[in-house]
Structure 1
Amino acid sequence: MNVATQKPVLIVTGTDLASEALDMLRDFDVVYAGRTPTESDLIALCSTHQPTAIIVRYGKVNAAVMDACGGHLQVISKHGSGIDVIDQKAAAERGIAVRAAVGANAAAVAEHTWALILACANSVPQLDVRMRAGHWDKSTHKSLELAGRTIGLVGLGAIGRRVAAAAQAFDMRVLAFDPYAKEAPAGVTLVGLDELFSSADIVSLHCPLTDENRHMINAQTLGTFKPGAILVNTARGGLIDEPALAQALSSGKLLAAGLDSFDVEPMPSPHVFQGIPNVILSPHIGGVSDAAYVNMGKGAAANVIDVIDSHARSAAYS
């Protein structure tokens, strides 16, 4: 509680929130942690302000950060859908709710997925570089035409389903693996992961990162991919064994890869990917669009308010 304002404190691990979200949070004293807050930054800030809520944009929230809140913290709300940056076990042990703005950036991530797929299939960045250097590669270049090809989606949530719908518009065959999906949209065939890897011309990742699927894309699984396949990851970097992927790209096993997330973020420099011409890199911005920024902020704010109100109602009846 901020004694001066008598408002509960909400810390944002970033520098801003959409104005629409701030309007929803007018009963909170909002404190920003900065663009790239470290663990020590967050511990110091939480020790000082004793927040009731944290909205996570950047960085990680672990047990030490939670404990620095002095027992006041009720909810950790993700500005987006990926809650792997929050120690969920530690939160559960402390009775702290963890929430995600599920689906708030689904359209943006799906669109960026297709930006990467099309850029890989058509060598867009590479041709741009060649053109700027004075080359005209019309007689030697061939794009990978998508019509009639197979795309394999690992994860069939809000993002995966949007990617699937676009794939069907491209006249592609759509396979999907999702152990939690009870049914698939029309035109999408649910298959096992091994079949997906061996059958797909394009493999696109749309699943959360867990202890069980960390480095699911590794030397062994990459060995089962079709020669000349494309891999796209707009989910979590930890899903991929990066040295193994670098080898598959350099050897020609894969035609290309489009990556928007990395095992360590920001991606360290130098990095092996920087020297590989057939990988397209973007700095985890798949969900960062004008509309998604607003939707994620509003979703994160709504989750905070819901948990705080629920606590207040419980206290009133106890």
Structure 2
Amino acid sequence: MIFSTHPLHPEVTDALSAIGDYRVASAPSAKAISSESEGAELIVVRAPIPPEVIEREKGLRALVRHGAGLDMIPVETATRAGVLVANVPGANAITVAEHVIWSALALLRRYPNVNDDLRARGWVEGRAHADHGRELTGKTIGIVGMGNVGRKLAGMAQHGFGMEVICHTRRPDSVPQSVRAMSLDQVLGTADVLVLCCPLTEQTRGLIDAAALMRLKPGALLINVARGPVVVEDALIDAIESGHLSGAAIDVFDHQPLPNSHRLFDLRNVILTPHMAGITEESMLRMGQVVAAEIRRIAAGDLPENLVNPEALDLYRKRFV
């Protein structure tokens, strides 16, 4: 049985249904996933997988992430159980990069304020924000994390808007020749727009704390399309309320869904989106097509192309070969 934590693109649903018995969770909750995944051999992951599902399902062959990030999968638990883990790197990189550019443009042109005041207070009040808008062209963008998203974003920023691109990454071999790699402190002190698109690890958790935020240039923007815990949320709110930052666009949060009472909702110069930077009709189809291809390989007895835990192979082969 192929089990998915979420409904998928119709074409992908058809492809998976052609491979075998295909079922979708009634809700992307831990309770529904745990109770409804019984008997699963392959799981498509778009919501956190409870470790007990992996430990319970003796016929589980693989967990295939519908996306790149692995924080929804207890990889160590899967490896100990001899369960393969695969992901889909890069399929939504252009989607996330577009979201960053859109967010930066909207913040610089004060779109949240313009939209609110035009609707609530009229033409004159809305248009008054125009004099304080800024252009993206010629600004310096600092990218933390130079993976698939970072590289796509660098190309858009340079070739579309004539921006200077600087970055901080633990993989200097991934930096395009036209991009300057710097220390984190140098990026913070130089960037007009700071973009976080790094993975969540023990090294990046809390990376952008109060001290880091104060090292940003006054008036800078912060855009987070990485993971919520990379930023200390209370410190970010303080930096915006104090006026040190001119705005932020946040797609990911410490706790999701974001509670309606959260302090971020009170900030007019913050764009909030519900973890959707990588989701469009096109990206969902691209990601789903790769997921279906990986599941087809595993169901046929082959290994996935994007295997992320090769340490599980010996036990996996004892279980299924």
* Residue 122 of structure 2: aligned partner: 134
* Aligned-partner Cα distance in 1 for 2:198–2:170: 10
* Aligned-partner Cα distance in 2 for 1:60–1:203: 28
Instruction: Give the Å deviation of 1:307.
Output: 3.2
* Residue 144 of structure 2: aligned partner: 154
The TM-score normalised by the length of structure 1 is 0.90
* Residue 105 of structure 1: aligned partner: 92
Alignment of 1:80-229 (within 5 A): 80-132=67-119, 133-137=121-125, 138=127, 141-168=131-158, 169-229=160-220
- Tell which deviates more after alignment, 11-20 or 261-270: 11-20
Alignment of 1:1-318 (within 5 A): 9-20=1-12, 22-37=14-29, 39-47=30-38, 50-57=39-46, 59-69=47-57, 71-132=58-119, 133-137=121-125, 138=127, 141-168=131-158, 169-308=160-299, 309-310=301-302
* Aligned-partner Cα distance in 1 for 2:286–2:26: 21
- Tell which deviates more after alignment, 298-307 or 159-168: 298-307
Instruction: Give the Å deviation of 1:24.
Output: 4.9
Report the structure, 1 or 2, having the larger helix content: 2
Q: What are the Cα deviations for residues 235-284 of structure 1, in whole angstroms up to 9, with x where unaligned?
A: 21121111111111100010100111111111111101000111111111
Structure 1 residue runs of 5 or longer lacking an equivalent are 1-8
Instruction: Give the Å deviation of 1:139.
Output: 5.2
Instruction: Give the Å deviation of 1:205.
Output: 1.0
Q: What are the Cα deviations for residues 278-309 of structure 1, in whole angstroms up to 9, with x where unaligned?
A: 11111111111111010111112222233342
Give the aligned residue type for 2:227.
R
Structure 2 residue runs of 5 or longer lacking an equivalent are 305-315
Give the aligned residue type for 1:55.
V
* Residue 3 of structure 1: aligned partner: none
* Aligned-partner Cα distance in 2 for 1:23–1:247: 48
The TM-score normalised by the length of structure 2 is 0.89
Instruction: Give the Å deviation of 1:183.
Output: 4.4
Q: What are the Cα deviations for residues 120-151 of structure 1, in whole angstroms up to 9, with x where unaligned?
A: 11111211111122142545631122233211
Give the aligned residue type for 2:277.
G
Using a 3 Å threshold, how does the CA distance of structure 1 residues 83 and 68 change in structure 2: closer, same or farther?
A: same
Give the aligned residue type for 1:13.
T
CA RMSD of aligned residues (A): 2.2
SS of the residue corresponding to residue 18 of structure 2 reads coil
Give the aligned residue type for 1:287.
G
Give the aligned residue type for 2:41.
T
Instruction: Give the Å deviation of 1:60.
Output: 0.6
- Contact 1:25 1:301 (8 Å CA) reproduced: no
Give the aligned residue type for 2:290.
G
Q: What are the Cα deviations for residues 46-90 of structure 1, in whole angstroms up to 9, with x where unaligned?
A: 33xx11110012x21132121232x11111111111111111111
* Aligned-partner Cα distance in 1 for 2:303–2:111: 52
* Aligned-partner Cα distance in 2 for 1:106–1:18: 21
Q: What are the Cα deviations for residues 89-131 of structure 1, in whole angstroms up to 9, with x where unaligned?
A: 1111111111111111111111111111111111112111111
- Contact 2:3 2:25 (8 Å CA) reproduced: yes
- Contact 1:18 1:293 (8 Å CA) reproduced: no
* Residue 4 of structure 1: aligned partner: none
Using a 3 Å threshold, how does the CA distance of structure 1 residues 25 and 298 change in structure 2: closer, same or farther?
A: farther
SS of the residue corresponding to residue 310 of structure 1 reads coil
